[in-house]
Amino acid sequence: MQTRVQNKNNPLPVGSRLGEYTIQSVLGHGGFGITYLAHDNNLNSLVAIKEYFPESYAERGENSTIHPRTGGDGSDAEIYQWGLQEFLKEAQALARFKHNYIVRVLRYLEANGTAYMTMEYEEGESLSAYIRSHGGFLSEPDLLRVFLPILTGLQAVHEAGMLHLDIKPDNIYLRRSGQPMLIDFGSARQRHGKMESGRIALTRGYSALEQYPGYGEIGPATDVYSVGATLYRCITGREPVDSLERHKTLGVNRADPMPPATRFERPLYAAHIRQCVDLALRLPAEERPASARALQNGLMGKEAREEKSVNLVTPGHGSGFIGISDAVVKPQRWRPRRGFLESTFLFLLATAAMAIAAAKILIDTGRLETDELYAWFDRAQELPYDAGREIKRFIDAQLGITPAATAAPTPAPRRVVRSRPAPEKIIPPFVPDKTVALTLAAHSPVASLAFARDNGMLVVAHEDGAVNLWEAGTGELLSSLKSSAASLGALAVSADGRWLALPVDPKAVEIRDMHMNVPVAKLTGHAAAITRLAFSADGGHLVTVDKDSAVILWDMAEHKKIFDLPPAKHEILALAVAPNGSVLAGGDIEGGIQYWDLAGGKELAYVPAQPVPIGALAYSPDGKWLAAGGQQHQLKLWGAGLNRNDRALRDAPEEVNAVQFTPDSRWLLLGGKDRPLEILEVEQGQVTHRLAGHDGGVSVLAVSSDGARVATSGADGKILIWK
């Protein structure tokens, strides 16, 4: 009789031997087994070993032997033995896979009354660990980089007659290179395998309804549901509601307790991606995409169905192929000589293959980093593209040709941009009880306000092109500049107050060092009048938009263009750069918000936000909120973090002209028609202070970086500095 150990799921001790393997540590454990890190003493390498140990039906004795639990109705022994045989079948089946996105099983062995599966060990982390350390969700590019390959691997599993049946963030593993793979087939079963009613282990929230006994037959659509649930977790930051709970709730009140992904008005995901997630999470299996490939097509923007394809079976054991070919070798026959074009194509193809092989050798030997290779490719693509764009713009300008309203699609980004983290500083709390400290006269309507030079200077841009620099403490006029009248008073000042970006002629931006009040650079590249500008929080990048919807990202360190972003879909009225410098938001005349990925130069999404033009847009400094305002009392806070609810704010002005958060992110300042300056407490969503001083309302405003001063202007021709 074996003595039961108190800890029912205790692992093998470190140093235990399993054949040629020595246990080093525990990598993880679940309801059906424990995974160890072990050393292969023969090959002097590390491996991962999974032990079949269903804790619900078995226990370990002091001699490390696992045996079915004693007592009960005796079914534990039967279930344990059946599960052991299934575990061995799965090990045999998975050992035949040589696929980039499926865990590689090396061998299996039987010992200690159970079985063990030996797998390749690669350094990395689970998807669940990754999203925990990255704000609780994946960006759209990361989402596709993970799930498109995973669905390729899952399709191979299904075509081999197997199912996974336990796909969840814990069972998607990200190698150190970022390449994903499916792991832990411990709950996988042969498609027509025996399933003991009521004794199937499930992961609540990620299991399809038909995985519960009596609710249907399992199949590829069952794994599709689990992928959909994992996608839901990654884009909403919420755990999906269990399918059986959804089914029962729908039966009672006809309301699904799980909000659909399409209801999350997040800027990071295209509409077709969120629609695919909801489709994969349909409770009836027949309403979901029928296969992993069908869901993959949907995520890529195609119809979510499986396209006709020919399954190729290739001899050998190359990565990504399954099975051995039964092809018959045919006798060779005479072929005509290849023509010039065919020979040239084959030569170029061979040259490219040799270049790729050389690059791989350099990477494998450590002489070339992957990022360096990508940067070289990016730069090689950038040169002809930028040259072509500049030549076309020059010719069009000389001939007086107006660019078409719909621009050609922008090629893939050429360069990866990373913003420097803004230096940490103490942020004093904003005091909303302010009074007018200075009143200045505006000779024409004011278009922009900004504090500069350590908050000691107020920059005022007028619609007629005049730019006045005022001493913010005394109201003394320091100097005057001239900007392009075609730019309608657009300007931008970096968050530290050092740099002023000013369109000095319609198509060029002058960069001024405000500490010395001298120009240091002139940025040229637009073919139309520049109308909007915005700095990143660290001041390292500048974004400019022109009248023809061209968008350019500039490097402020070198004062040169990084690349052209995809053009705006409609005329942009307001710009805002996220505090981390990775996302650009633009509010347009059609009431939509367009989002760009500044790190990669791609468009992220376009969200129809409100039925009227968006003329005011601002991110909170802590990155939690994006405020958008417009006409017809439209004012909304968009939760930039996925654990927050987006909400429209009540009693907004008839026209919201300006919005800006305070440096501590606690307050939102509102400038509106026929309203005083209003200060809204963000968490409560209510206006708590109203500062009267303008007749006819507030049209523009600015807050100093320390929160000590606020500047406003309105239709009454006054410029007020509040303190």
Helix (H) or strand (E) segment spanning residue 487: none
Contact 723, 465 (CB under 8 A): no
Instruction: Tell me the average pLDDT across 189-209.
Output: 62
- Give the residue with greater pLDDT, 333 vs 475: 475
Q: Bridge partners of 550?
A: none
pLDDT tens digits for range 413-460: 445 555 555 455 678 899 999 999 999 999 889 999 999 999 999 999
For helices 140-159 and 292-299, the axis angle rounded to 10 degrees is 160
Domain with CATH 1.10.510.10 in the chain: 124-299
pLDDT tens digits for range 538-567: 999 999 999 999 999 999 999 999 999 999
What's the fold here for domain 436-722? Methylamine Dehydrogenase; Chain H (2.130.10)
Instruction: Tell how far CA 201 is from the center of its chain.
Output: 32
Q: Structure tokens of 404?
A: 């078409």
Q: How sure is the predictor about 406, in pLDDT bands with cuts at 50, 70 and 90?
A: very low
Task: Tell me the CATH architecture of domain 124-299.
Answer: Orthogonal Bundle (1.10)
Q: What is the pLDDT of residue 681?
A: 92
Angle made by CA atoms 664, 666, 671, in degrees to the nearest 5: 105
d(CA 25, CA 557): 48
Mean pLDDT of the chain: 81
346 pLDDT above the threshold of 80: no
pLDDT tens digits for range 72-111: 566 778 888 888 888 888 888 888 878 889 988 999 999 9
Q: Bridge partners of 596?
A: 584, 603
Torsion of CA 698, 447, 493, 704, to 10 degrees: -20
- Give the residue with greater pLDDT, 675 vs 400: 675
d(CA 126, CA 129): 5
Contact 585, 595 (CB under 8 A): yes
647 pLDDT above the threshold of 80: no
pLDDT tens digits for range 588-634: 998 888 888 898 888 887 877 788 899 999 999 988 889 999 988 88
Helix (H) or strand (E) segment spanning residue 84: helix 75-95
Q: How sure is the predictor about 412, in pLDDT bands with cuts at 50, 70 and 90?
A: very low
Instruction: Tell me the average pLDDT across 45-49.
Output: 93
pLDDT tens digits for range 136-172: 888 888 899 999 999 999 999 898 888 888 899 999 9
For helices 340-364 and 370-399, the axis angle rounded to 10 degrees is 130
Q: What is the pLDDT of residue 67?
A: 87
Contact 465, 509 (CB under 8 A): no
Domain with CATH 3.30.200.20 in the chain: 17-120
Q: Bridge partners of 639?
A: 625
Q: What is the pLDDT of residue 73?
A: 60
Q: What is the pLDDT of residue 95?
A: 83
Judge if pTM exceeds 0.85.
no
Q: Structure tokens of 65?
A: 């032997």
Domain with CATH 2.130.10.10 in the chain: 436-722
pLDDT tens digits for range 682-715: 888 889 999 999 998 999 999 999 999 999 999 8
pLDDT tens digits for range 487-545: 878 899 999 999 999 998 889 999 999 988 899 999 999 999 999 999 999 999 999 99
Q: What 3-state class would DSSP assign to 196? A: coil
Local structure of residue 673 (DSSP, 8 states)? B
d(CA 265, CA 245): 25
Q: What is the pLDDT of residue 160?
A: 85
113 pLDDT above the threshold of 50: yes
- Give the residue with greater pLDDT, 529 vs 326: 529
Q: What is the pLDDT of residue 468?
A: 94
Q: Is 50 annotated as a binding residue?
A: yes
The CA distances from residue 366 to 359, 370, 676, 710, in Å, are: 11, 10, 63, 55
Nearest to 571 by CA among 614, 537, 605: 614
Look at the alpha carbons of 378, 384, 390, 393 in this order and tell me if their dihedral is positive or negative.
Answer: negative
Least confident of 190-199, 219-228, 333-342: 190-199
Number of residues that this document lists for the chain:
723
Q: How sure is the predictor about 237, in pLDDT bands with cuts at 50, 70 and 90?
A: confident
Q: Bridge partners of 48?
A: 37, 119
d(CA 158, CA 195): 18
Nearest to 486 by CA among 459, 504, 467: 504
Instruction: Tell how far CA 369 is from the center of its chain.
Output: 24
17-120 is a CATH 3.30.200.20 domain: yes
d(CA 55, CA 325): 41
